[in-house]
Amino acid sequence: MPLVLLRIDDRLLHGQVLVGWGGALDVSWYVIADDEIAASEWERDLYAAGLPAGVEGAFLTVDEAARAIESLEAREGAGVLLTRAPGAMRRIAETGALRGRDVNLGGLHAAPGRRRAADYVYLSGPDIEELEAIERAGASVTARDLPGARRVPLAELVRAAR
Amino acid sequence: MTDPARGIVVAHGRVAEALVETVERIAGVRGALTALSNDDAAAESLADRVADLARGANVVLFADLASGSCGVACRRASGPAAEIPVVTGVNLPMLLDFVFHRDLPAAELARRAAEKGTAGIEALRSLEASDAARPAAD
């Protein structure tokens, strides 16, 4: 299973992802599914410049990423799929491509309308709806900032945020 | 005459705060550096905070890791034309040099910082390794 992590994280490529998860899972490529970044050369360059040497990055629209899941699973090496918000991952999950997979909620920071669910997860009503839709599409959603941390199920996060 | 340069140190956790405080303690120069942590900041808001702090002339941005949110935030704040110099791998040697040469232009300070920061890194050979490397006496 070369796609070893499906993660929602509003910082996308950052230290925890590249070092914490990247080191533990020996990740050699990242796919960022984000319409805004895919459409902007400057944004793509910005994130690509932040990748460690020898690690590849691909910047796809959310629709492109959803269509690419099967071929990504056939790629060599361990890879990570990242979205910065629950809605993009929900769109991918609703194609059925993530059935049976665990979606990792790695970081959603405080913002107006969001309430604390964990130290690194703040959720709004619409965020919760998107995450529950991912579970309805056949994937589980658990929060975990780093590989050694406890997996926190979505239901527990929702209880904490209400 | 340009204003004395300012440095913004952007790093994970409490690293920036500790570096800036330590530079002030060692060099006795205050107000030259501002610390910014990536704690509790989403990617774009961190870049906005860096850009706010970097407003004005003669600023150098220092990030801890080139890969990751601090490096990306600094590059984003610097803009597509890289108007504000960014130095990654921030360490004490480069910051100590920076605070004593703030009359120089930012681009020159960034070049110096990379040089001094790199020069401050050395793998010292342990006594054991030195012994192993020495040819055995007959």
- A48-57 residue pLDDT tens: 988 888 999 9
Neighbours of A15 (CB within 10 A): 21
For A147, residues 6+ apart whose C-beta sits below 8 A from its C-beta are A20, A21, A24, A25
- A77-109 residue pLDDT tens: 999 999 999 999 999 999 999 999 999 999 999
Instruction: Decide the pairing of beta strands A115-118 and A121-123.
Output: antiparallel
Residues of A in contact with B68 (CB under 8 A): 13-15, 17-19, 50
Residues of B in contact with A47 (CB under 8 A): 72
Distance CA A82, CA A59 (A): 10
Distance CA B4, CA B25 (A): 20
Distance CA A98, CA A92 (A): 7
- B65-91 residue pLDDT tens: 988 889 999 999 998 888 899 999 999
Are the C-beta atoms of B86 and B61 separated by less than 8 Å? yes
Look at B68 and A15 and tell me if their CB atoms are within 8 Å. yes
What residue has token string 């920076």? Answer: B98
Distance CA A144, CA B5 (A): 41
Look at B43 and A12 and tell me if their CB atoms are within 8 Å. yes
Distance CA B32, CA B23 (A): 10
Cβ of residue B116 closer than 8 Å to a chain A Cβ: no
Are the C-beta atoms of A107 and A121 separated by less than 8 Å? yes
Half-sphere exposure of A142 (CA within 13 A, CB side): 13
Cβ of residue A124 closer than 8 Å to a chain B Cβ: no
What residue has token string 């959720």? Answer: A123
Neighbours of A41 (CB within 10 A): 10
Residue in A10, A15, A51 closest to B42 by CB:
A10
Q: Which pLDDT belongs to residue B1?
A: 55
Look at B45 and A42 and tell me if their CB atoms are within 8 Å. no
Is residue B137 pLDDT above 60, yes or no?
no
Mean predicted confidence (pLDDT) in B23-48: 89
Residue in B41, B65, B72 closest to A47 by CB:
B72
What residue has token string 């669910």? Answer: A117
Residue-by-residue pLDDT tens, chain A, 162 positions: 599 999 999 989 988 899 999 999 999 999 999 999 999 999 999 999 888 889 999 999 999 999 999 999 999 999 999 999 999 999 999 999 999 999 999 999 999 999 999 999 999 999 999 999 999 999 999 999 999 999 999 999 999 998
Cβ of residue A146 closer than 8 Å to a chain B Cβ: no
Question: pTM surpassing 0.80?
Answer: yes
**Residue to substitute from B48, B64, B67, interface A, most A β-carbons within 10 A:** B67
What kind and span of H or E run contains B8?
Answer: strand B6-11
Total number of residues shown for chain B:
138
Give the bridge partners for A123, in sequence order: A115
For B28, residues 6+ apart whose C-beta sits below 8 A from its C-beta are none
Q: Which pLDDT belongs to residue A15?
A: 86
Total number of residues shown for chain A:
162
Residues of B in contact with A13 (CB under 8 A): 67-69, 72
Residue B33 burial (C-beta neighbours within 10 Å; 0-12, 13-18, 19+): buried
Which residue from A minimizes the CA distance to B78?
A: A46
Give the bridge partners for B125, in sequence order: none
Residue in A17, A49, A109 closest to B40 by CB:
A109
Distance CA A33, CA A9 (A): 11
Distance CA A25, CA A28 (A): 9
Residues of B in contact with A49 (CB under 8 A): 66, 71-72, 75
Distance CA B71, CA B65 (A): 6
Structure-token pair, residue B102: 């703030």
